Amino acid sequence: MQERGGVEEITVLVDKPDHGGDVRGGPGDHVELREVVADECRLEDEVLGRIAGDRQLRKADDVGARGARLVHPADDQPRISGQVTDGWVDLGESNPHNSILTAPSPPLGLVVPVAYFDRLRALSRERHTLLCVGLDPDPDRIEGGAAGALRHCRDVVRQTEEHVCCFKPNSAFWEQYGPDGWAALLELRDEAPDTPFLLDAKRGDMDNTMRAYARAVFGTLAMDAATVSPYLGSDSLREFTRYEDRGVYVLCRTSNPGARDVQHLESGGKPVFEHVAVLAEGLNGAGNIGLVVGATAPAEVAAIRRITALPFLLPGVGAQGGDVESAVRAAWNGDPASCLVAASRSVIYASKPAREAEALKAQINLATGVRA
């Protein structure tokens, strides 16, 4: 254990993940941890932020301002046998002699994050689903301001959680309510601690601004994943991807009609969206990057899948009229994270959201050839 700048560094070992398989696994599937070599600055920010927010880090008074750096385990060295809870491995519950190599025992309450895509895969197998429900409250359809939006979306979460492997709130729909909207979103996040939340924020800016955006999304709001814009390039994107336990979906070929205006322009004989896919591949050293590829353009989904195996977020089904069967078949490659299908309005404004979510889940599973 070393103490540097007021932050104690603790080295722990974790197992590699299993990225294969399909959605047919059972509830007892073991969640394995992927290799992470964490950025020290990011971890200091994250741990300190979680202590301040008193959200993800339990027993913070025992931990203090500690950072945890994960390293690849050698084949003949002991591994962590901690318990996975709410996306975190609790080292306080594990055998200290099998967990910490540079300290005689782990501090009680120290937690190691489980990578977003590993959580997504495990939950997809457990619940037999590739469905993601968007939580986008419209004040023209939901009365009562932020409180009404929270009540409505909380009910949707409770009704649909068993049928989804992720929830996707769009930040704009909560920002429109002002500070009350942010508070409501935080409460909504706590409604389903076992299910990942993906903030659809489409952030894109200079690197120092993106650093602040990332702290807000992953620290203050405690989101598990986010969408980002690639327009400012790799230095901008790295401010999000350096949070290696969080998912980062890069806009590639979006679902709106105007996507062709820029994303289909050619450079070097290839459309811009293909260049974006290649850029994302090059930044995926931590295995935490995916692509946003609209289900309204199944031909482009297939074209992008031919050049990359990155996970896809497929918006555009339901109210946008995307072709579920064609898009899912084009995106699916056997990896449960390869094809996260997002639907918002068609589910959250349905008279029976649970029934709508269950039907959409079945339609998606039929397209992949996977049976629940």
| C-alpha to C-alpha distances, 243 to 40, 218, 240, 256, nearest whole angstrom | 10, 8, 6, 29
Contact between 175 and 138 under an 8 Å Cβ cutoff? The reply is: no
Q: Are β-strands 131-135 and 111-113 bridged in parallel, bridged antiparallel, or unpaired? A: unpaired
Give the separation between CA 361 and CA 84, rounded to whole angstroms.
26
Alpha carbon of residue 343 to chain centroid: 16
Order of strands across the sheet that contains 131-135: 166-169, 131-135, 339-343, 312-314, 289-293, 247-253, 225-228, 198-203
Closest to 105 measured CA to CA, from 10, 226, 239: 10
59 classed as catalytic: no
b/e burial code for range 44-65 (CB count within 10 A of at least 16 → b):
bbbbbbbbeeebbbbebeebee
Structure-block tokens of residue 21: 């398989």
Residue 54, sorted as left (phi over 0), alpha (psi -120 to 50) or beta, turns out to be left
- In 3D, which of 277, 361, 279 has the Cα closest to residue 311? 277
- Among 16, 202, 270, 361, the active-site one is 202
Residue 138's Cβ-count burial label (10 Å; 0-12, 13-18, 19+) is: middle
Please tell me the distance from the alpha carbon of residue 55 to that of residue 96, in angstroms, as a whole number.
24
Distances (CA, A) of 250 to 72, 74, 88, 241, 288: 27, 33, 25, 10, 11
Catalytic residues: 202
